Structure 1
Amino acid sequence: MTSGNTPEKFLHGLKESRLIAIVRGTDGPAAARAALAVMAEGFRSVEVALTTPDALAAIRRIRDAAPEGCLVGAGTVLTARDVHDVVAAGGQFIVTPALAESIDVGAGLGLPVLAGALTPTEAYQAMTRGATAVKLFPASVGGPSYLKALRDPFPQIPFIAVGGVGLADAPAFWAAGAIAVGPGGPLIGDAASGGDLDALRERARAFVALADARAGTHRMEATRLEAKLS
């Protein structure tokens, strides 16, 4: 059903790429074009919100045309019916905005689940119900300092910062412990509603370059630490 995309593999991929694109718009075909554009520029995971008209058809199109190694999932997945519809459309992971019944259903099917949560209680409950990771949403409410405070009692929970996270915000969220950030509007702009794809590609390249630079910094730090310990 998930074509080998286990929660463990999905989580590993997020930790490597540090990015997931959030596509939400007013036009399904345009949303599919936007998703494929960001994949072409280096995003490995893209979520299409079910609030987008014809979202399931868009997911099917993206799944058929996605570059090798790229994954497409659905966001705003709330009900058991939503989960089964996403699976039928070829979705490879689900994302929720809150502690919805879709978490338990998706986890029960072996799907990677990014569960929306804001408070410590919600984050803990999301993981106990089978979430692969917690989508801190909306991350802009508390900012990186709030994420850092959440991680102090829950260092084992993988957090993804979503909601109002732009290019300038991403480094602080990564530094605070987010394994990835999920840019939506700051990345997609109006492209998922029929807007400028060239501008979208330029923004996507900027996000990918920033994430790659962050990964390179971490590799250098790890090398220095190994040298000191040897």
Structure 2
Amino acid sequence: MSFTDRLRRERVIAIVRGTDPQAAERTVRTLREEGVALIEVSLTTPDAAGIIARCSREGGDSLIGAGTVLTGDDARAVHQAGAAFVVTPALAEGSVTAHALGLPVVAGALTPTEIVRAVSEGAAAVKLFPASVGGPAYLRALRDPLPGVPFVPTGGVDAEAARAYLEAGALAVGVGSPIVGDAPRGGDMDELRARCRAFLAALAAHRDQP
């Protein structure tokens, strides 16, 4: 299964960004246990590469990726750590290097010019960021001239917005605090489990759909 097919099946990438590396690692494992199969660990999290390496070695059906990959060194480090994919907040050296290393890239872009460039540089999907600037209406407007671009809106996406973006034609959505909350900073894991279940239930009608 290609990475874009996996995005289409799962519909959501959970974003783990925190200040406590042990809590962030527990968050990744809990997300995986609750059925979130695409998990991005932001490089702004202490020991992010170590978290990716340890969680990737555990196997299973989930894919552990790296987020906030900006530089070529970032891309090489997460590739060595075993990241299954890379997410960037913008078009940068990190996305080009990651693609050259064979990693699927969800490249950050906002304007039509940036989106076309992201695709031309080999992005598997385009992270529409920050999606909250234009909302689902902006995504619909972009899809008219760019119908073949696989979009992953990210930034301010809660369950209601996620459904709206998917109905507007998004391939998947990127979601941080509406799922993970304060768990990567030491928050309650039972509350994290409840948020995961509620979010996945809200998207159930869109998962496994073409």
Which amino acid in 1 is paired with 2:156? G
Cα displacement string for residues 155-199 of structure 1 (whole angstroms, at most 9, x for unaligned residues): 010000111101121110001111111110111111001111111
- C-alpha displacement at 1:109, in angstroms? 1.4
SS state of the match for residue 115, structure 1? strand
* Partner of residue 82, structure 2: 90
Which amino acid in 1 is paired with 2:21? G
Matches within 5 A, 1:215-226: 215=207, 218=209
Cα displacement string for residues 133-171 of structure 1 (whole angstroms, at most 9, x for unaligned residues): 000011111100001111111001000011110112111
Cα displacement string for residues 74-119 of structure 1 (whole angstroms, at most 9, x for unaligned residues): 0000011001100111111110000101111111111100000011
Is residue 21 of structure 1 aligned with residue 8 of structure 2? no
Q: Is the 8 A contact 1:79 1:100 kept in 2?
A: yes
SS state of the match for residue 126, structure 2? strand
Q: Is the 8 A contact 2:56 2:82 kept in 1?
A: yes
Q: Distance in 1 between matches of 2:96 and 2:118?
A: 9
* Partner of residue 49, structure 1: 42
Which amino acid in 1 is paired with 2:50? A
* Partner of residue 145, structure 2: 153
Q: Is the 8 A contact 2:99 2:122 kept in 1?
A: yes
Q: Is the 8 A contact 1:17 1:211 kept in 2?
A: no
- C-alpha displacement at 1:211, in angstroms? 2.2
Q: Distance in 2 between matches of 1:104 and 1:157?
A: 18
Is residue 58 of structure 1 aligned with residue 54 of structure 2? no
Q: Distance in 1 between matches of 2:185 and 2:53?
A: 18
SS state of the match for residue 165, structure 1? coil
Which amino acid in 1 is paired with 2:27? A
Which amino acid in 2 is paired with 1:27? D
Q: Is the 8 A contact 2:27 2:189 kept in 1?
A: yes
Any runs of at least 4 consecutive aligned residues in structure 1 with deviations exceeding 3 A, and if so which?
none
Q: Distance in 2 between matches of 1:47 and 1:157?
A: 21
* Partner of residue 32, structure 1: 25
Structure 1 segments unaligned to the other structure (5+ residues): 1-7, 220-230
Q: Distance in 2 between matches of 1:211 and 1:171?
A: 7
Matches within 5 A, 1:86-165: 86-165=78-157
Query: Between the two proteins, what is the percent identity of the paired residues?
Result: 53
Equivalent residue pairs, number: 210
Is residue 181 of structure 1 aligned with residue 180 of structure 2? no
Q: Is the 8 A contact 2:52 2:81 kept in 1?
A: yes
Q: Is the 8 A contact 2:52 2:65 kept in 1?
A: yes
Which amino acid in 2 is paired with 1:109? L
Is residue 210 of structure 1 aligned with residue 202 of structure 2? yes
